[in-house]
């Protein structure tokens, strides 16, 4: 299913002459790699940042340190900040982000499967909360599938201005 979603995303982005960039924590590059596995991805994927630590989120992506100090890194507002930042820094039409807890144990007081993804695009920015179950690998791969599905759904709509 993920490869079909990636093909749909790459196809729609290509048709629209739009681009995407990814800021990934939980998925550590899987979103970018999944898109890059699709033929034609070089026309639409500008790049990505693996921001696995709070310091990288702050220093490289510009997520406010005050936000991370108050909410932690696993927060919907952090997902939005990451998506907006990577979109701006790469000059992409769309910015995607992932942050969460893959497990096996909790992090920042949040259980495994707590995931927030962000989509920033022409029509605005939004975070989505995913309550996933399964082992670490499943949580990470399911996050990629959900995020690509969310972007594909937005790309299926009329062009946003």
Q: What is the pLDDT of residues 39-72, one digit of tens each?
A: 999 999 999 999 999 999 999 999 999 999 999 9
Query: What's the helix, strand, coil split of the chain in %, to 5?
Result: 45, 20, 30
Q: What angle do helix axes 2-16 and 136-156 make, rounded to 10 degrees?
A: 30
Q: Is residue 132 within 8 Å of residue 144, measured between CB atoms?
A: no
Binned at pLDDT 50, 70 and 90, residue 159 comes out as confident
Residue extents of the structural domains in the chain? 2-156
Looking at domain 2-156, its CATH class is alpha beta
Mean pLDDT on 6-28: 98
Q: Is residue 134 within 8 Å of residue 113, measured between CB atoms?
A: yes
| Numbers of helices and strands, H then E, in the chain | 6, 5
Mean pLDDT on 120-129: 97
């Amino acid at each position: 299913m993920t490869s079909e979603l990636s093909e749909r995303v790459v196809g729609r982005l290509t048709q629209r002459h739009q681009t995407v960039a990814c800021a990934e924590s939980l998925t550590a590059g899987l979103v970018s790699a999944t898109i890059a596995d699709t033929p034609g991805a070089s026309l639409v994927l500008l790049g990505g940042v693996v921001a696995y630590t709070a310091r990288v989120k702050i220093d490289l992506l510009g997520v406010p340190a005050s936000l991370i100090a108050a909410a932690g890194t696993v927060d919907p507002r952090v997902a939005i900040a990451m998506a907006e930042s990577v979109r701006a820094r790469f000059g992409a039409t769309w910015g995607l982000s992932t942050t969460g807890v893959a497990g096996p144990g909790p992090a920042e007081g949040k259980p495994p499967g707590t995931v927030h993804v962000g989509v920033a695009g022409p029509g605005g920015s939004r975070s989505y909360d995913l309550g996933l179950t399964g082992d670490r690998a499943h949580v990470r791969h399911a996050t990629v599938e959900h995020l690509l599905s969310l972007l594909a759904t937005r790309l299926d709509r009329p062009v946003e201005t």
